[in-house]
Amino acid sequence: MAKKFRSKKRAERTANAVIYIILTVISIVWLFPFFYLVLQSLRGEAGASTLYFWPKQWTFDNYIKLFTDTATFNFPRWYGITLIISVVVTVIQTTIVLVTSYALSRLRFRLRKPLMNLMLILGMFPGFMSMTAVYFILKLIGLTQNLGLIGLILVYVASSCMGYYICKGFFDTIPKSLDEAARIDGASRQTVFFKVILPLAKPIIIYTVLTSFMAPWGEYMFASLIANGDYDYFNVAVGLRQMLQRETVQQYFTRFCAASVLISIPITVLFFWLQKYYVQGVTGGSVKG
């Protein structure tokens, strides 16, 4: 008996050892690209890649040049554009998502179900195919070229009510008895929204803010089509990909790495700070059945 127990313990220990090894390997594989990114951003030698791993010259030049040498690639401008877009998009998109979710979760009106079905169907069309039409609509309102930034923001937020699923799912879990109690006390639908639902919705608000803030930083399709090759209206994703084109990659790769680090740091910090809410959001949204 004791022998069997010991062998069981030994099996457990080997299993754990194997798991530790796997997890360590995974961690290395997962961290390697980021480690490489930081390393390359500090490399002094030119070129897209070197035959050795560790840089021979360490320097901060790549970071400095991003802000001083802005003739071809105006990184500070791209950064500013993307930041402005993100902030504005975050504010508008969060409002729209909250409002739509509340209406679909709590209010009962005739077109509710058809509306939800419509949004489901619309979501199945490849988004950017309608880009030409959007472009001409923007032109009609006068929001291209100089005002392309506004146009881009409009495009991002215009269909954001279609992203109501997760938020509505959250609202659905808030007990209806709370609303009913408030309604009996004479509160209007609006009062219920502002005084009952919103105070309870902090996690989902933070989740929506976080995701809508992060999305514009990686958006490529719309941004590149609207900028239409004009470097002045690139966002960081389009701009950084431009740095890696065949003609420029040799000269700009290290600078690309530096720029990537500068973009990643604030977003990573923000993400880890609010990670708890993010996890709640994705798990809450994915589980329903």
Partner 1 sequence: MAQPVSELDYLKMTAWQKFCYKFALFFKTIPIVFLNFFKIKIPSAFKKAGLGFKNIGLNIYYAAKNGDAKTRTSFVIFGFSQLARKQWLRGLLLLAFEVLFILYLSLFGWRYLALFNTLGTKTSGWVVNPDTGIKELVTGDNSLLILLYGLLTIVFMLAFLYAWYQSIKSAYSAQQIVEARHHLPTAKEDLRSFTNEQYHKTLLGVPLLGLTVFTILPIIFMIFVAFTNYDKAHTPPSNLFTWIGFENFVTVLGGGLSNGVSFGLTFGRILLWTVVWAFFATFSNYILGIIVAIMINKKSIRLKKLWRTVLVLTIAVPQFVSLLLMSQMLADSGVINNLLKSWGLIDNAIPFLTDGKLAKVTIIVVNIWVGIPYTMLISTGILMNIPEDLYESAKMDGAGPVKAFFKITLPYMLHVTAPYLITQFIGNLNNFNVIFLLTGGNPALPFGYDTSAGDTDLLITWLYKLISRDNAYGVASVISILMFVLTAVVSLFVYNRSSAVKNEEDFM
- Contact set for partner 1, span 207-266 (CB under 8 A): 214, 217-218, 220-221, 224-225, 237, 240-241, 244, 249, 253, 256-257, 260, 263-264
Is 29 among the residues that bind partner 1 (CB under 8 A)? yes
81 vs 154 by CB, closer to partner 1: 154
Quick check: 7 binds partner 1 (CB under 8 A)? no
Q: Give the C-alpha separation, 142 to 131, whole Å.
A: 16
Q: Does 125 bind partner 1 (CB under 8 A)?
A: yes
In the complex with partner 1, which residue's Cβ is closer, 2 or 140? 140
Pattern 94-123, partner 1, x by CB under 8 A:
--x--xx-xx---x-x--x--x---xxxx-
Q: Which residues contact 19 (CB under 8 A, 6 or more apart)?
A: none
CA distance 115 to 119: 6
- What does the chain come to in residues? 289
Rule CB under 8 A: choose which of 149, 161, 182, 200 binds partner 1: 161
Nearest residue to 102 via CA among 182, 183, 177, 205: 205
| Shortest Å distance, C-beta 40 to partner 1 | 8
Which residues, 6 or more positions from 201, have their beta carbon under 8 angstroms from its beta carbon?
A: 98, 167, 170, 171, 174
Per the CB < 8 A criterion, the answer to whether 214 and 233 are in contact is no
Please state, in angstroms and rounded to a whole number, the distance separating the CA atoms of residues 66 and 258.
8
> Least separation, in Å, of the C-beta of 286 and partner 1?
3
Task: Choose between 71 and 121: whose C-beta lies nearer to partner 1.
Answer: 121
- Residues within window 37-56 making contact with partner 1, judged by CB under 8 A: 37, 48-53
